[in-house]
Amino acid sequence: MAIYFVVMRLGSGSWDYTISELGKLKFWVAPLILGFGIQVGLFSYLRNCQKTGGNMVTGATATSATTSSVAMLACCAHHLTDILPFLGLVAAATFLATYQEWFLGLGILSNLAGIFVMVRQVRRMR
């Protein structure tokens, strides 16, 4: 949530706009934040088990971490539309704005995939 507020505040220059956008996107942002939080909890649990001698496959953990990162990038990618026109990247800004919901959906799917991979890893450890 802090990342959302920082990116939006810097990109828009206005707290009112930041909060307004959060209200518009709440049904997209809430699952992203929840999914990311679940992934962080599962990752911490798996890392703790590894430190205490549990058998953990590092490839699965790396996949989960990558999936989580992709989800966060997809979540924040549409915020670049505020900055890209100033960099001369109007076409990229238009593309990101047009497909904003697709990026958010991709982020949610990536979160679900990451959670699935980590839950499967937790089950293997038991």
**Every domain of the chain and the residues it spans:** 26-125
Mean pLDDT of the chain: 74
Q: What pTM, to 2 d.p., does this model score?
A: 0.66
pLDDT of residue 13: 75
The closest alpha carbon to 124, from 55, 71, 65, 26, belongs to 55
Six token digits for residue 37: 């939080």
**Per-residue pLDDT averaged across 11-15, rounded?**
76
pLDDT of residue 125: 78
List Cβ neighbours of 25 (8 Å cut-off, separation of 6 or more). 104
Dist. CA 65–CA 61, nearest whole Å: 6
Q: How confident is the model at residue 32 (pLDDT cuts 50, 70, 90)?
A: confident
Q: How confident is the model at residue 69 (pLDDT cuts 50, 70, 90)?
A: low
